[in-house]
């Protein structure tokens, strides 16, 4: 097995594979190259692992499975038929997995296994001040404070292809404002009518106000849940995490911990003053039937007052030394990741927000006109500006984009599910398409 290849969401990766020369020199006929991807886990799905075809190449003909159409190639194969390395572009989270390479030339055959890891995830972020209150510079700061960067249009498209949808207009790194729709509905059509896609408002003035889409790449430490019997205000939660050798986790750190499997049905403070909790094993008492990071909003969209009482999600860098105990006498209950069969501490689930949460995505109000906030980069309320018609091209769903996205939705009195690209399920083998080898 080759060393793992690591790529980033929407980036590129090259999976190495080559056919060693045979004793009789180069074969008279071009070799046959076949790449497959393994999906499923041993012991799961009735103990069966399946292989999904990626491509088959022979001579100047390349057959590509539709899930990878337009995104895979054999860049060195034309100049050197023994070079079967596979190039992938526009990486999606669902591309992660184990790939098998098979090269056959006469009686000479070579097989190799290459693991591919795709790092990072995209998530939607709303300011503590409410919906559509971030200028472009404020959006940059918000992502940085969330241990993330502004997401790129390519990352939003890659997340959309894996099933992400959120009817909330947000800044991207190129200063455009976009949002993605998986299930168009009243108030969330854009210019695509009833077609799924990524909608764009084009490049906007930096002083206009929207939400933001952030990209978190990799967790450098550990996120853990911690509770005290009498609960914690925002400030005491911060001191509590410091006493444990860490600090309050950021929003991006909690999302990355969720992506890594963290499941905790207990709302807790984060460093931006929001109250959230990660769910990988959905259950009725924990905010809905889809995985995601839940947010408890006050009055439908705002954050809770700093004096409200909750638990805490802490972050500790890998290099940080762990203290022997807290700096003051308190009763601690600290947990990191619970298994899928472990019930939540409170069988009734977390407390509901004080007001109804945003409605389901299909009925979420459309992205509202932004407000000018004075000079570029400054937050503030201003006169509403009228947005122009959505600009094409909007992106129709590609192969493998049929999964339902986890977006800001909720059912009163349950908390919302944050806009984070869902964990995709691998695409089952589909129709092969034949294109010339380039």
Please report, in tens digits, the pLDDT of each residue of the chain (438 residues total): 789 999 999 999 999 998 776 666 666 678 899 999 997 655 444 556 788 999 999 888 899 999 999 999 999 888 888 889 999 999 999 999 999 999 988 777 889 999 999 999 999 999 998 899 999 999 999 999 999 999 999 999 999 999 999 999 999 999 999 999 998 877 776 665 678 999 999 999 999 999 999 999 999 999 999 999 999 999 999 999 999 999 999 999 999 999 999 999 999 999 999 999 999 999 999 988 899 999 998 877 678 999 999 999 999 998 754 554 443 333 334 444 333 333 334 434 444 333 323 333 332 333 443 332 322 222 322 233 334 444 433 333 333 333 323 333 333 334 555 555 555 443 433 333 333 333
Structure tokens at 233: 């205000």
Distance separating the N- and C-terminal Cα atoms of the chain = 28
Instruction: Give yes or no: residues 244 and 331 share one domain.
Output: yes
- Contact status, residue 340 vs residue 279, Cβ threshold 8 Å: no
Where does a domain end: 119, 135, 151?
119
Instruction: Give yes or no: residues 230 and 263 share one domain.
Output: yes
Instruction: Give yes or no: residues 226 and 331 share one domain.
Output: yes
- Contact status, residue 267 vs residue 275, Cβ threshold 8 Å: yes
Where does a domain end: 65, 93, 119?
119
Q: Residue 171 sits in which domain range?
A: 121-216+358-409
Helix (H, G, I), strand (E, B) or coil at 252: helix
- Contact status, residue 35 vs residue 145, Cβ threshold 8 Å: no
- Contact status, residue 113 vs residue 2, Cβ threshold 8 Å: yes
CA nearest to 149, candidates 216, 98, 210, 76:
216
Structure tokens at 428: 């089952």
Domains in the chain, number: 3
Instruction: Give yes or no: residues 43 and 112 share one domain.
Output: yes
Q: Is residue 353 in a domain?
A: no
**Rounded CA separation 355/269 (Å):** 18
**Rounded CA separation 183/195 (Å):** 8
**Rounded CA separation 356/375 (Å):** 34
Residue with tokens 């860490």, as numbered in its chain: 246
Residue with tokens 């006498």, as numbered in its chain: 329
Task: With 0.95 as the threshold, say if the pTM is over it.
Answer: no
């Amino acid at each position: 097995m080759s060393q793992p290849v690591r790529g980033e969401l929407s980036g590129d990766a090259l999976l190495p594979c080559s056919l060693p020369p045979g004793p009789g020199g180069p074969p008279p006929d071009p070799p046959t190259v076949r790449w497959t991807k393994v999906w499923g886990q041993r012991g799961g799905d009735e103990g069966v692992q399946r292989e999904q075809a990626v491509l088959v190449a022979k001579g100047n003909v390349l057959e590509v499975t539709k899930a990878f159409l337009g995104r895979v190639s054999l860049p060195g194969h034309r100049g050197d038929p023994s070079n079967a390395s596979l190039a992938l572009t526009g990486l999606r989270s669902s591309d992660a997995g184990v790939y098998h390479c098979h090269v056959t030339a006469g009686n000479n055959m070579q097989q190799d296994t290459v693991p591919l890891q795709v790092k990072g995830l995209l998530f939607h972020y709303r300011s503590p001040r409410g919906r559509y209150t971030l200028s472009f510079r404020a959006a940059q700061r918000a992502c940085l404070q969330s241990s993330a960067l502004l997401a790129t249009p390519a990352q939003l498209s890659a997340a959309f292809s894996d099933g992400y949808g959120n009817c909330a207009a947000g800044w991207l790194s190129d200063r455009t404002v976009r949002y993605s729709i998986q299930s168009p509905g009243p108030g969330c059509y854009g210019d695509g009518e009833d077609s799924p896609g990524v909608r764009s408002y084009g490049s906007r003035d930096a002083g206009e106000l929207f939400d933001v889409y952030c990209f978190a790449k990799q967790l450098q430490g550990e996120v853990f849940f911690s509770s005290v019997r009498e609960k914690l205000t925002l400030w005491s939660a911060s001191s509590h995490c410091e006493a444990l050798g860490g600090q309050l986790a950021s929003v991006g750190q909690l999302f990355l911990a969720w992506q890594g499997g963290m499941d905790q049905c207990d709302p807790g403070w984060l460093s931006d003053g929001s109250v959230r909790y990660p769910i990988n094993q959905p259950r009725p008492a924990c905010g809905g039937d889809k995985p995601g990071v839940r947010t408890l909003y006050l009055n439908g969209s705002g954050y809770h007052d700093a004096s409200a009482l909750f638990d805490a999600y802490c972050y500790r860098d890998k290099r940080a030394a762990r203290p022997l105990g807290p700096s003051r006498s308190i009763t601690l209950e600290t947990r990191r990741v619970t298994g899928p069969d472990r019930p939540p501490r409170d069988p009734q689930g977390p407390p509901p927000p004080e007001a109804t949460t945003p409605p389901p995505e299909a009925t979420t109000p459309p992205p509202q006109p932004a407000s000018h906030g004075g000079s570029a980069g400054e937050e503030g309320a201003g006169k509403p500006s009228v947005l122009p018609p959505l600009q094409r091209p909007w992106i129709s769903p590609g192969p493998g984009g049929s999964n339902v996205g986890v977006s800001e939705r909720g059912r009163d009195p349950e908390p919302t599910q944050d806009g984070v690209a869902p964990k995709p399920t691998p695409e089952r083998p589909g129709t092969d398409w034949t294109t010339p080898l380039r």
